[in-house]
Chains A and B, each alone.
Chain A
Amino acid sequence: MNPILEMKNITKEFPGVKALDDVNLDLFEGEFHSLVGENGAGKSTLMKVLSGVYPYGTYEGEILVNGKERRFTTIREAEEAGIAIIFQELSLVKELTVGENIFLGREPAKFGIINWSEIYQKSAKLLKELNLNINPKTKVGNLGIGQQQLVEIAKALSQNAKILVLDEPTAALTESEVEILFDIVRDLKKRDVGMIYISHKLDEVFAMSDRVTVLRDGNTVATENALALDKDKVISLMVGRDVGDIFPVSTHDFGKVVLEAKHISAFDPDVANKKLVDDVSFEVREGEVLGIAGLMGAGRSELLSAIFGAWRGNHSGDVLVDGEMALINSPRDAIKHGIGFVTEDRKRYGLILDQTIMDNSTLAGLKQISGNFITHRSRELVATKEIMESLRVKANSPITVTSTLSGGNQQKVVLGKWLLTKPKVLFLDEPTRGIDVGAKQEIYAEINELAKQGLAIVMVSSELPEVLGLSDRILVLHEGRLTGEFTKANATPEKVMAAATATL
């Protein structure tokens, strides 16, 4: 039997980062093929190459569908070739009905006049085939996230997709919805649809898969028959690599407890009563690096956000700084109490890209650095120059606009912004996401140096080696709950990953 899909020697580079390095993946008719790997291993990137999100020419390698090479330049072309992807972020129009969504862009029409009865009849038939009890005239926005996901699958099938990619489809589903989904999957297998399934939930992977491919750091480390694998083996394949010596070896002397978080919970602002962080408590000492590990959606950023006063949804719990209760209702309060927060996604939350390094790096501590009401440019320049030197920001002047900097240098500017507030506790959320190895190493050294100077550091990272290499202590979250705590001495990648996937 010939594969219906072959991806051969796919290499995809971003400035400074090789996201995919010579990756191979194939798929047969009716096969359920799981793609697993750590966050950032390249799974989503690979699927974006497949679906034309990254058009032909921006990657190297070949994509063969039914043995013929295809060069997709748009998502539409990939869809026409029978490839459908259900992304984590839903791509349905919430204000339109289920039927309208299913036929969006290819409505049955004569002279531009839409045949509504055909849309709703066909939609109803389609939904019935999938045993979905959904009225096609319901607005998509009125459905739960899980049902929306199922509608999206229906939409893909209405386009006669022969290759269906499911990117973390069960993350938002309830258990019964997962069952419905897997019934659909079994049915699709009978209809010879090949499926690529991306998931962190290894139980599901093993329950459904024919084969499993493991990606690590943009490389294919294994493609094996599911029967030949077990969970432990997959975990070791996912994490199995040398931590290497890019991490500074040093032990820190801990001082007194600086920050104590007690019973922190945070609720989803969009879904009532859904807890994203569930009763998490921890403390961190002077000079200590506390790592927080966990998979996507484990509630790590939300935890830091809630403590920092930046969480938009409801949250509860107490924060003590230097042993005293700190009332923190806004980032401003947190900064006053000596907490700094190097947020994730520097372009969205960290930087004002149109503005200069100086404007950005002095923003959070502006009143301390410059003046309470009237600003003093010279003082700001001095502070910016100092921080640029100590963090080795490569730019020729403090008034360089930050959008022109490389990712690593942008990240250093965000870090500098928070160091200029002279914090006692520094939160770091994904501090090295999307930056090259050299810059990573410099940031690691800086984190280590800051801890030595007595700063208490809480670091969230999806890169396991980073957490293991830098942290004195590691907390692991799974679905909002604390599922593990390890010291540097007893933490291993396998143990942490097991706690993160809650396979204890």
Chain B
Amino acid sequence: MSETSKSNKLNLRANSLRAYTMLAALVVIWLFFHWQTGSIFLTPRNLSNLMLQTSVTGIIAVGMLMVIISGNIDLSVGSLLALAGGISAIVLTKLGYGLVPAVLAAIAVGVLIGVFQGILTAYGNIPAFIVTLGGLLAWRGAIKGISQSETIPITDDSFKAIGQQYVDPNIGWVLAAIGILAIFFFAFRNAKAQKDYGVGDGNLGKELIKAVAPAIGIVVFIFVMNSYAGIPIPVLIFLAIALFGYFITNNTTFGRYIYAIGGNSEAARLSGINNKMVVLKVFGLLGAFTGIAAVIYTARVASGTPDAGTLLELDAIAACVIGGTSLMGGRGTVFGACLGALIMASLDNGMSLLNYADYTQELIKGSILVAAVGIDMVGQKS
């Protein structure tokens, strides 16, 4: 019994330890760059930029996380982003439809291809690695063919706004207020549920104290963003998707099934879970997120380019892995994946500010990826 409780505590500690270690690593990276760049890194302008850089990778990382937790992988997202973005640009400029059809077209392309790859993986029993490796080549080829390898420029201001505009600072504060209210609402609800069901200690004070840190985080975040120009719209979309992903993985039966399938697919199947359908949906979800990311990317660079999103799949996978996701499936958190994306973007941003040569940047990023997982493995063993 005492042994059980001991290892139990250790296990819980290991999980939060990982989150704290990652946060600490992020702080160290930020301070290092701030010092090296002569106090440029931690300015509202650069932080706003950094968040903007994080958003596309981050959105895809949230979807990728679910795919990886289910025990699969998707290598096609970079090419899919180019295809969805290119089609969106064509719908907007060449076909002359408006903003809404262009956005929906990108998302539809993402979902359709995601579901298609999900069907091949789950029902066709072709390993996801192979299906999406094929997709990596095929979707890139498709957009090159459709666009004749030419860039499609976008002039529509409303579309460009999705990638380039900022939310009015006042609206930022309204969102902050809503967010804080929601946090405290859930704290109350938690405490009440604990009391009603007679589980946990049902201590309202404790729940409220736990809500303080995130609330402060929101205030600081909005303050910093507003000190520059407000929250960038892509960042807002990223945060919404991260929250959605958090909700799916933590508070839905669907989310639980994803973890169950990745943890032990046979046990999941025997427990009545429709593994194939869940895997299909997970791929569809990542496809949808990729479509959304494609809109942002296309709007930001104001053109549909066949080369968009090259190697993006690797950034997204790296973000998940740095965030403590197991490539074997069954383990990983949205918070970790987002933090991983932020760490990757911070490295990019900081090293660019320092004018590191391309090759240096690549060497350092590669080393940090491997080191992060290495440290994680050592931590697990001990």
- A interface residues, Cβ below 8 angstroms from B: 308, 310, 330-332, 334-335, 341, 343, 348-355, 359, 363-364, 366-367, 370-379, 381-382, 385, 394-397, 399-401, 404-405, 417, 421
What mask results when residues 259 to 272 of chain B are scored 1 for a CB within 8 Å of chain A, else 0?
11001101111111
B148 interface hit (Cβ, 8 Å): no
* A378-B193, A378-B199, A397-B8 as given contacts; A331 in contact with B253, CB under 8 Å: no
Q: What separation, in Å, do the CA atoms of A310 and B269 have in the docked complex?
A: 8
What mask results when residues 229 to 243 of chain B are scored 1 for a CB within 8 Å of chain A, else 0?
000000000000000
Residues of A within 8 A of B193 (CB): 376-378
User: Could you tell me if A341 and B4 are in contact, using CB atoms closer than 8 angstroms?
Assistant: no
- Shortest A410–chain B CB gap in Å is 11
User: Could you tell me if B199 and A382 are in contact, using CB atoms closer than 8 angstroms?
Assistant: yes
- Shortest B327–chain A CB gap in Å is 14
Q: What separation, in Å, do the CA atoms of A382 and B7 have in the docked complex?
A: 23
3 tightest A-B contacts by CB?
Answer: A352-B263, A364-B271, A378-B197
Closest to B199 in A: A381
User: Could you tell me if A349 and B8 are in contact, using CB atoms closer than 8 angstroms?
Assistant: no
- Shortest A370–chain B CB gap in Å is 7
Residues of A within 8 A of B1 (CB): 394-396
Q: What separation, in Å, do the CA atoms of A379 and B331 have in the docked complex?
A: 23
User: Could you tell me if A331 and B272 are in contact, using CB atoms closer than 8 angstroms?
Assistant: yes
* A378-B196, A378-B199 as given contacts; A364 in contact with B272, CB under 8 Å: yes
Q: Which of A355, A359, A375 contacts B251 (CB 8 A)?
A: A375
- Shortest B77–chain A CB gap in Å is 26
What mask results when residues 1 to 12 of chain B are scored 1 for a CB within 8 Å of chain A, else 0?
101110110011
Chain B CB count within 10 A is highest, among A352, A364, A374, A417, for A352
Q: What separation, in Å, do the CA atoms of A332 and B274 have in the docked complex?
A: 7
User: Could you tell me if A404 and B252 are in contact, using CB atoms closer than 8 angstroms?
Assistant: no
User: Could you tell me if A352 and B267 are in contact, using CB atoms closer than 8 angstroms?
Assistant: yes
B194 interface hit (Cβ, 8 Å): yes
- Shortest A8–chain B CB gap in Å is 34
User: Could you tell me if A404 and B11 are in contact, using CB atoms closer than 8 angstroms?
Assistant: yes
Residues of B within 8 A of A353 (CB): 263-264
* A352-B267, A352-B330, A382-B198 as given contacts; A395 in contact with B4, CB under 8 Å: yes
Closest to B255 in A: A375
Residues of B within 8 A of A332 (CB): 272-274
B210 interface hit (Cβ, 8 Å): no
- Shortest B187–chain A CB gap in Å is 14
Q: What separation, in Å, do the CA atoms of A92 and B1 have in the docked complex?
A: 43
User: Could you tell me if B272 and A354 are in contact, using CB atoms closer than 8 angstroms?
Assistant: no
Q: What separation, in Å, do the CA atoms of A330 and B256 have in the docked complex?
A: 19
Which B residues between 1 and 38 are near A, CB-CB below 8 angstroms?
1, 3-5, 7-8, 11-12
Q: What separation, in Å, do the CA atoms of A310 and B8 have in the docked complex?
A: 33
Q: What separation, in Å, do the CA atoms of A178 and B255 have in the docked complex?
A: 52
- Shortest A207–chain B CB gap in Å is 40
What mask results when residues 124 to 162 of chain B are scored 1 for a CB within 8 Å of chain A, else 0?
000000000000000000000000000000000000000
Closest to B7 in A: A404
B254 interface hit (Cβ, 8 Å): yes
User: Could you tell me if B270 and A404 are in contact, using CB atoms closer than 8 angstroms?
Assistant: no
Q: Which of A310, A334, A351, A394 contacts B264 (CB 8 A)?
A: A351
- Shortest A310–chain B CB gap in Å is 6
User: Could you tell me if B253 and A343 are in contact, using CB atoms closer than 8 angstroms?
Assistant: no
Residues of B within 8 A of A371 (CB): 253
Main secondary structure, interface of B, reads helix
Residue contacts A-B, CB under 8 angstroms, 20 given? A332-B272, A341-B270, A351-B264, A355-B330, A359-B259, A364-B272, A366-B256, A372-B253, A374-B252, A374-B253, A375-B253, A375-B255, A375-B256, A378-B196, A382-B199, A396-B1, A399-B8, A401-B7, A401-B11, A421-B272
Residues of A within 8 A of B272 (CB): 330-332, 334-335, 364, 421
Residues of B within 8 A of A404 (CB): 3-4, 7-8, 11
- Shortest A68–chain B CB gap in Å is 39
User: Could you tell me if B264 and A382 are in contact, using CB atoms closer than 8 angstroms?
Assistant: no
Q: Which of B255, B270, B273, B331 contacts A343 (CB 8 A)?
A: B270
Residues of B within 8 A of A330 (CB): 272, 274
Residues of A within 8 A of B330 (CB): 352, 354-355
User: Could you tell me if A331 and B271 are in contact, using CB atoms closer than 8 angstroms?
Assistant: yes
Q: Which of B197, B251, B252, B259 contacts A381 (CB 8 A)?
A: B197
Q: What separation, in Å, do the CA atoms of A127 and B56 have in the docked complex?
A: 64
Q: What separation, in Å, do the CA atoms of A377 and B271 have in the docked complex?
A: 19
Q: What separation, in Å, do the CA atoms of A253 and B85 have in the docked complex?
A: 69
User: Could you tell me if B252 and A363 are in contact, using CB atoms closer than 8 angstroms?
Assistant: no
Chain A CB count within 10 A is highest, among B198, B272, B273, B330, for B272
Residues of B within 8 A of A334 (CB): 272
- Shortest B7–chain A CB gap in Å is 4
Which B residues between 171 and 213 are near A, CB-CB below 8 angstroms?
193-194, 196-200
Residues of B within 8 A of A350 (CB): 267, 270
Which B residues between 325 and 356 are near A, CB-CB below 8 angstroms?
330-331
8 A-B pairs besides A364-B271, A421-B272 with CB distance below 8 A are: A308-B270, A349-B270, A350-B270, A352-B260, A354-B330, A366-B256, A395-B4, A404-B8
- Shortest B3–chain A CB gap in Å is 8
Which B residues between 259 and 307 are near A, CB-CB below 8 angstroms?
259-260, 263-264, 266-274
Q: What separation, in Å, do the CA atoms of A343 and B196 have in the docked complex?
A: 35
- Shortest A32–chain B CB gap in Å is 40
- Shortest A390–chain B CB gap in Å is 16
- Shortest A9–chain B CB gap in Å is 30
Chain B CB count within 10 A is highest, among A308, A375, A421, for A375
User: Could you tell me if A379 and B266 are in contact, using CB atoms closer than 8 angstroms?
Assistant: no
Q: Which of B199, B254, B263, B271 contacts A417 (CB 8 A)?
A: B271
Q: What separation, in Å, do the CA atoms of A397 and B199 have in the docked complex?
A: 11
- Shortest B118–chain A CB gap in Å is 19
Chain A CB count within 10 A is highest, among B194, B200, B273, for B273
- Shortest B285–chain A CB gap in Å is 14
Residues of B within 8 A of A366 (CB): 253, 256-257
Q: What separation, in Å, do the CA atoms of A404 and B2 have in the docked complex?
A: 11
Residues of B within 8 A of A394 (CB): 1, 4
Residues of B within 8 A of A376 (CB): 193
Residues of B within 8 A of A379 (CB): 197
Q: What separation, in Å, do the CA atoms of A367 and B193 have in the docked complex?
A: 19
Q: Which of A343, A354, A367, A382 contacts B263 (CB 8 A)?
A: A354
Q: What separation, in Å, do the CA atoms of A354 and B263 have in the docked complex?
A: 7
User: Could you tell me if B271 and A363 are in contact, using CB atoms closer than 8 angstroms?
Assistant: yes
Q: What separation, in Å, do the CA atoms of A355 and B259 have in the docked complex?
A: 9
Q: What separation, in Å, do the CA atoms of A378 and B200 have in the docked complex?
A: 9
